[in-house]
Amino acid sequence: MSGLNLAKNVGLELRECKTFSERLECSTAELEKILREKISDGIFVAWQIQSIVWGKINGENFLPNVEDLLEIRLFNRREEIHFKRADEKFIGRYVRDDDGTGTFYADSFARLWGENVSSANGFIKLVDAPRKISMELPCDDDGKKFYGLTTRNYIGSDAATGLSGYVDYRFVAIESAWDGD
């Protein structure tokens, strides 16, 4: 299935939930404690000075070197915490979805580069051979060739203009896309 056909077949669907969100700020020393308090099970992606690291959160130590950390997202299907470095502190937000109404959203899917070439211990390896790059993602291998990131896009409106648009987004899951035929 071509990317264009995939986009046509997997349209955006407007849905509704109840959402809790809070702004957060912490020092480098407080970061891991706050992350552990908010989410104990899920996936993280950490942008460091020298690399991007994906991993799983399972109650053990999971943070890469905090001194090199520029940005981090911890997420699962229900919630996300997102921090960015601002000098010697981290500024971010926590968002959680619950059953109910009040917030409109649309989930979207973006394919990640590379093809699934192997898997082990709950991780898949995607390789983009022409560009000579690869990455390992915390995702169960269901035999598909391509994988992607599901993102939840929250919709709000401007009271003055009445115009609606995306006001926030969060990572939801890494999922298989299709076989590539």
Residue of 88, 104, 139 whose CA lies nearest to 118: 139
181, part of any domain: no
Strand partners of residue 126: 116, 135
161, part of any domain: yes
38, part of any domain: yes
pLDDT band of 179, cuts 50, 70, 90: low
Strand partners of residue 58: none
Say which amino acid occupies 146. Answer: F
Find the length of the chain: 181
Calpha distance 93→167 (Å, rounded): 13
> Range of 24's domain?
3-176
pLDDT band of 57, cuts 50, 70, 90: confident
Domain count, the chain: 1
Q: Which of 55-64, 109-118, 141-150 has the lowest mean pLDDT?
A: 55-64
> φ and ψ at 168, to 5 degrees?
-165, 165
Q: Which of 8-17, 36-45, 69-78 has the lowest mean pLDDT?
A: 8-17
